[in-house]
Amino acid sequence: MKKTILGIVLLSLTACATSYEAGTESQQYADDVHRISMRGNHFSDQSEAQEYALLKAAEVTMDSGYRYFVITNAQDKTKTRHYTSPETTDSSTYSSAYGTSNTNLTASLYGNTITGNATTNTQVYGNSTTTSTTKAAQLHTYVSPGVDVLIKTYKEKPSVGYFDSEQITKYLGSKLNPDRWGKTAATKKKKFNYKALGKAMLTQ
């Protein structure tokens, strides 16, 4: 059961390009039970979604006067939308033309009278080329990630499967919510190790 919950949290959480404040919310069910919700859009990044949900859970835990939390349930709320763009055709035409013109003059003299004739021959040649490019209809898939996580908070360290909210806010607070946690050099240099954390949850 613990492996299933952890898998949903670390794999089903998908990215959220919205801001931290707009992408996450919480609802309290009891003194030590909260639901964390994360909703994103199709510009999302998976690692950001994981960080958003973890930080929100950690902040809720600390704001409630606790330090540790355990994920007791998680539901994937990701939505997938498909859109087919129509077929389009672009055409371009190139035209060229050239011609020749010849004039022949003839004249005759009879006594004091001159008679003449002029003949003009004109020929025009042309060419026209049309090029068409057709772009086939394309299927586009947009994924809007979402997840609901139910957590139980603890003041004392649980025996197994827990998250330490102080550690999470240390590494993610200034990155995702600098208005509350400020910016620190340590946060810029260090990256949260989700694999190690997940392994620790399963082995403790």
pLDDT score for 119: 75
pLDDT in tens, 129-160: 888 888 888 988 888 778 889 999 999 999 98
Mean pLDDT of the residues in the chain: 78
Range list for CATH 3.30.1660.10 in the chain: 2-77+144-203
Q: Quick check: 125 pLDDT over 70?
A: yes
pLDDT in tens, 72-84: 998 888 888 888 8
Number of H helices, E strands in the chain: 7, 9
CA distances from 20 to 159, 174, 188 (A): 31, 12, 18
pTM: 0.59
> Rounded to the nearest 5°, which phi and psi values hold at 53?
-65, -40
CATH classification number, 2-77+144-203, choose in 3.30.56.10, 2.40.50.100, 3.30.1660.10, 3.40.50.10800: 3.30.1660.10
